[in-house]
């Protein structure tokens, strides 16, 4: 089970975007995430009339390593570590380690 999933609110804890909050848009691979509004780069794009794309400089979101983000805990208002717990019914849930609250999916 992955500790950070698509749709989670995260806080960046390392890198040039340290302190920014965003929502996970997608998982690129096992260890990289696309976070909305984080790790933006400017890219020179060539025009492509077949796809209807105009050329110019566009801002693009690049992947960030999951070790550089923490799940945002609304109870404390900060980033928090996450653990995985198995309930009596055999269901696995994520919980915040600071206050033992279950993460809302």
DSSP state of 73: E
Which residue in 25, 22, 27, 18 sits closest to 10, CA to CA?
22
Percentage of the chain beyond pLDDT 70 is: 98
Q: Which residues contact 100 (CB under 8 A, 6 or more apart)?
A: none
- Domain limits, the chain: 9-48+55-76
CATH class of 9-48+55-76: mainly beta
**Does residue 18 have a pLDDT over 80?**
yes
Indicate the SS3 state at residue 24: strand
The answer to pTM > 0.95 is no
| Local confidence band at 104 (pLDDT 50, 70, 90 cut-offs) | confident
**Does residue 84 have a pLDDT over 70?**
yes
Residues 35-66 have pLDDT tens digits of: 999 999 999 999 999 999 899 999 999 999 99
**Does residue 102 have a pLDDT over 80?**
yes
What is residue 83's predicted lDDT score, i.e. its pLDDT? 95
């Amino acid at each position: 089970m992955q500790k950070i999933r698509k749709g989670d609110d995260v806080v960046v804890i390392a890198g040039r975007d340290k302190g920014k909050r965003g929502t996970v848009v997608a998982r690129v691979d096992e260890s990289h995430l696309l976070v909305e509004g984080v790790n933006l780069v400017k890219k020179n794009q060539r025009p492509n009339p077949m796809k209807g794309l105009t050329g110019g400089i566009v801002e693009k979101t690049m992947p960030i390593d999951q070790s550089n983000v923490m799940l945002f805990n609304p109870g404390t208002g900060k980033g928090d570590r996450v653990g995985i717990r198995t309930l009596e019914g055999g269901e696995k849930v994520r919980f915040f380690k600071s206050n033992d609250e279950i993460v809302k999916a």
